[in-house]
Structure 1
Amino acid sequence: MKQTFTDISVNGEAIPPELIATEAQNHPAPKGKPGMAWMAAARALVVRTLILQDARRRNLAAAPMELAPGLWETEEEAIIRQLLDEAVEVETPTPEAVRAAYQSNPELYRAPALYEAAHILFAARPDDVVARKVAKDQAEAVLAKIKAEPKVFDALARDHSACSSRANGGRLGQISAGDTVAEFEAALDRLAEGEIAAEPVESRYGFHIIRLDAKAEGEILPFEAVETALRSALEKTGWFRASRAFVDALAEQAEVTGITLKAA
């Protein structure tokens, strides 16, 4: 594919198309629109170049940190981290600001809901189209029997489920948000207590017949329980905004050709 935006430079420093093509692999794009990945990669490299140029102006010397045993930052990663540590100033959120953030929407700090549920799993690998069709057909046939006579759920779970819970009639015991795959949890949220999902629920494991036996909404956590995590979140948000402002300032003072940073 012919690229049409190859003459990209930052303060006279060219960014080679080959480097952009390599970086583009790290930027997903909709199918059939590789140009979006190319543009995102080009913008990322422009930002990186702006930061590295500023680091050189400040005469920063790389001091790589060990990220994990035997795993060290590259010199470039170290320089970028050191520059941002030096140049980006973030205000520590005040106790009043932390409390105000909590009080603005306490619902955000609700403990996970608890469920008691049962299921019958008809297993099939995600990439096996034939097996998934068979699993769906089997699930629909068994679900029809359960709809006609709900009391047979336990027996049919023992006979058909590919999950170890079959020994307990498909009962999973008490589970909470995050204990199951997203599709399974979403189905539980839609069900009323005692209700069986009207259709088999598809997940990466196959197809599930799901029954919700009980549900307990999580309580809103008190401020003291979330204060530390909330302060950390506000600090991260503040750092992101300040670093973005720093990069924007570098871009305003720079001569960037071949691309705009508006979508960066």
Structure 2
Amino acid sequence: MQRIDMVERPGGGVIQVGEALIEESEIARETQHHPAGDLDRARRQAARALVIRQLLLQRAAQCGLDPTDEEACISALLEQDLQVPEPHPADCQRYYHSHPERFQTPPGWHLQHILLAAAPDDARARDRQYRLGQKLLRQLDASEHRFTELAQRYSDCPSRDQGGELGWLGPGQTVAELDRVLARLPAGLHGRPLASRYGWHLVHINALRPARPLPFEQVNERVRHELLEQASRRALHQYLLALENDIGVRGFRLEEDS
């Protein structure tokens, strides 16, 4: 059974789980393993991990499980204590029909591009390359068939040897900046240079391949797995709240930010 973190907030000072104390020094040591946007959030995540671990280890001791390997001990405990019902086929069907965007082929773009390279922090180069991009787009507006020729002459991407051809691409196969824009573009030549960390891109979409729904029979196991994961999270949430009540925790409450 996969372990899933809960949300809680350290109350400051010493945290007590049953008879065990979690000192500030322990939280400070654990914090390095929980990178976050700010120190306070990282410390809350560290305290969360320590408290949940202590709850589970104390429950494992009650059950007489061998604590020598703590990870194996906790896994055995969750396998023993958590009862997660198997998703009903009708629930799988409902979930599939309610979330069509999760069960479809990704969209695709058959793409040509010209990269006019410029470093993100080189304002002069980016301005110069942008103006070059505008000039090339004016030429392409007049003669779109020249894209291959201009890619071979001006592009700083290795694809210039293929006339800027990148072939079929899908989400995640280009840099994020282009990914976001490509998802909204129609087929054909885009009328302005597109920015990325590498410079400016002149883009021609030769063809579009829209997302298509996958038949339920093909994704049945994925649907079942997602529902099982959701049920596992709910069961673990309730299980930890029950352990908090049974074992006793002072310094924060599991349910505050759950």
With normalisation by structure 1, the TM-score equals 0.82
| Structure 1 residues 59 and 225, CA gap change in structure 2 (3 angstroms) | same
Aligned partners of 1:120 and 1:210 also within 8 Å: yes
1:22 aligns with 2:14: no
Deviations 1:103-149 (A, max 9, x none): 22334322111211112224467xx734xx45533431232112312
1:35 aligns with 2:40: yes
1:79 aligns with 2:73: yes
Aligned match of 2:185 in 182, 191, 198?
A: 191
| Structure 1 residues 83 and 135, CA gap change in structure 2 (3 angstroms) | farther
1:11 aligns with 2:1: no
Deviation at 1:62, TM superposition (A): 4.7
Aligned partners of 1:187 and 1:201 also within 8 Å: no
Gapped regions of structure 1 (runs ≥ 5): 64-74
Which whole-Å CA distance do the structure 2 matches of 1:142 and 1:153 have between them? Answer: 14
Name the counterpart of 1:68: none
Aligned partners of 2:133 and 2:200 also within 8 Å: no
Which whole-Å CA distance do the structure 2 matches of 1:142 and 1:118 have between them? Answer: 18
2:202 alignment partner, SS class:
strand
Q: Which amino acid aligns with 1:11?
A: G
Deviation at 1:197, TM superposition (A): 5.6
Aligned partners of 1:93 and 1:235 also within 8 Å: yes
Aligned partners of 2:114 and 2:155 also within 8 Å: yes
1:215 alignment partner, SS class:
strand
Deviations 1:55-111 (A, max 9, x none): 111110158xxxxxxxxxxx1111111111111111011222111211223343221
Q: Give the CA RMSD over aligned residues.
A: 2.4
Name the counterpart of 1:52: 57
Q: Which amino acid aligns with 1:45?
A: L
Alignment of 1:167-182 (within 5 A): 167-182=161-176
| Structure 1 residues 139 and 253, CA gap change in structure 2 (3 angstroms) | farther
Which whole-Å CA distance do the structure 1 matches of 2:117 and 2:64 have between them? Answer: 59
Deviation at 1:250, TM superposition (A): 0.8
Deviation at 1:247, TM superposition (A): 0.8
Q: Which amino acid aligns with 1:146?
A: L
| Structure 1 residues 207 and 248, CA gap change in structure 2 (3 angstroms) | farther
1:111 alignment partner, SS class:
coil
| Structure 1 residues 162 and 199, CA gap change in structure 2 (3 angstroms) | closer
Aligned partners of 1:197 and 1:211 also within 8 Å: no
Gapped regions of structure 2 (runs ≥ 5): 1-9
Which whole-Å CA distance do the structure 2 matches of 1:86 and 1:230 have between them? Answer: 25
Name the counterpart of 2:135: 145
| Structure 1 residues 92 and 114, CA gap change in structure 2 (3 angstroms) | same
Between the two proteins, the alignment pairs up a number of residues equal to: 244
Name the counterpart of 1:90: 84
Q: Which amino acid aligns with 2:26?
A: L
Structure 1 stretches of at least 4 aligned residues deviating more than 6 Å after TM superposition: none
